[in-house]
Amino acid sequence: MNIDPAITELEPEMKRWRHHLHAHPELGFEVHATARFVADLLRSWGIETHEGVGRTGVVGVLRGGSAGPSIGIRADMDALPMTEARALPHASRQPGRMHACGHDGHTVMLLGAAHALARDGGFSGTVNLIFQPAEEGQGGAMAMLADGLFPRFPCDAVYALHNSERPLGEVAVHDGTVAAAADRFDIVIHGRGGHAATPHLTIDPLPIAARLLLDIEALPGRLTNVISPAVVTVGSFHAGEAFNTIPDTARLGGTVRCFDQTVRRQLEREIIGRAKAIATMHGATAAVNYESPFAPTVNSPQHAAIVAKVAEKVVGAHRLVRNPDMEMGSEDFSFMLEQKSGCYFLLGQADEAHAAAAHDPDYDFNDALLPIGASIWVALARHCLPS
């Protein structure tokens, strides 16, 4: 490992920040204390700091010795609505809230890099430090974009990382698509309830919903080309209370995952269309709510090559993995990558004490990753913005 000396010096402090954030997790856009913690630190290092970008986002503007191009580096700040299982000394003090995706670590890695770059410089142009709320499906990236993120803080390219289940220190860089789009749908079939003994007097929504479930889960590979992977899963199905009563409504909730925008739009159209058609066919109606909180995350090969080159210098060639399988998980940095070229890469954190995957109640971010990620950000800034 080739850790930046300023980062090595800062490591004990980074660990303390991480444990503080981990113990005080906040959800969605309500990351008020976390945003304040970030903004206070940035200001204490003399960095121009903007709060309230996209409600609770923070942007630090770090200017180098002379004018030049600019990059954006994004970290996410929000936690998950779940209860931590392990009794760690820095475990969450808030039952029902937990940093189970490692966003506490992402935030601290970017803070560490900001501190080193603010103190030691070694770059020209501008590094925009983007601290985002509400990554876990509530649209934080979109909120920052809608609040003028890029017009206000111009970036020639944007970068982000996520910890992963790969071995500690392994960096995975994709030249194109990294992570799937994830859509969410909620369908209510409105029929007409009645006695189970006289179904002919009702419009039973259950068999309609059941037909619809079988129909839409079969769309990938039948409607869409198997060459382009896609999954439709109905994860919730609710109808009725009593064994001898036909209810008025049945409700289906599910998700669509795929890597291609054309496939994505095709599946959206078909799910909505089939819900309405199958309901109509049986004399019922369907109300469909369809949301797209995550686009496919797609890197530019040029910026992926830059990250690979920089990361290799930090972690060594034997820890660099190029173009592994795409991730079925999703990331809302995808919306920033739709507007600016850049690269989102994965940083492995698994060792014996950190075997649990993200979103597992046993998960904890691996502190050994803090200096590695921060060093990659410092090296990337100096590489992209040479002084």
The residues that are catalytic are 78, 135
Please, which residue, 123 or 344, has the CB nearer to Zn ion? 344
Which among 167, 179, 173 has a CA at the least distance from the CA of 369?
Answer: 167
Which among 344, 336, 303, 315 has a CA at the least distance from the CA of 132?
Answer: 336
| 348-373: burial string, b at 16+ Cβ within 10 Å, e else | bbbeeebebebeeeebbbbbbbbbbb
Q: From the CB of 331, what's the least distance to Zn ion, in Å? A: 7
Q: From the CB of 364, what's the least distance to Zn ion, in Å? A: 14
Please, which residue, 182 or 213, has the CB nearer to Zn ion? 182
Q: From the CB of 370, what's the least distance to Zn ion, in Å? A: 16
Please, which residue, 97 or 382, has the CB nearer to Zn ion? 97
How many Cβ atoms from other residues are within 10 Å of residue 43's Cβ?
A: 13
- Name the 3-class secondary structure at 237: strand
Q: From the CB of 136, what's the least distance to Zn ion, in Å? A: 5
Please, which residue, 277 or 355, has the CB nearer to Zn ion? 355
Please, which residue, 3 or 101, has the CB nearer to Zn ion? 101
Q: Point out which span in 44-52, 97-105, 177-185, 292-300 binds Zn ion (CB under 5 A).
A: 97-105
Q: From the CB of 192, what's the least distance to Zn ion, in Å? A: 41
Residue of minimal Cβ distance to Zn ion: 101
The continuous run of DSSP H or E covering 269 comes out as: helix 261-281
List the Cα angle 215/216/219 in 5-degree steps. Answer: 95
- The partner residues of 239 in beta bridges, in order of sequence, read 250
Residues comprising the chain, all counted: 387
Q: From the CB of 111, what's the least distance to Zn ion, in Å? A: 17
Identify the residue among 7, 35, 101, 161 touching Zn ion (CB under 5 A).
Answer: 101
Residues 278-297 close enough to bind Zn ion by CB under 5 A? none
Please, which residue, 106 or 382, has the CB nearer to Zn ion? 106
What are the DSSP calls for 20-88, one per residue? HHHHS--BTT--HHHHHHHHHHHHHTT-EEEEEETTTEEEEEEE-SS---EEEEEEE--BBSS---S--
Return the structure tokens found at 147: 């609040």
The size of the interface with Zn ion (CB under 5 A), counted in residues, is 1
- Does residue 172 bind Zn ion (CB under 5 A)? no
Residue 90: which region, alpha, beta or left (left: phi > 0; alpha: psi -120 to 50)?
alpha
- Which stretches of the chain bind Zn ion, using CB under 5 A? 101
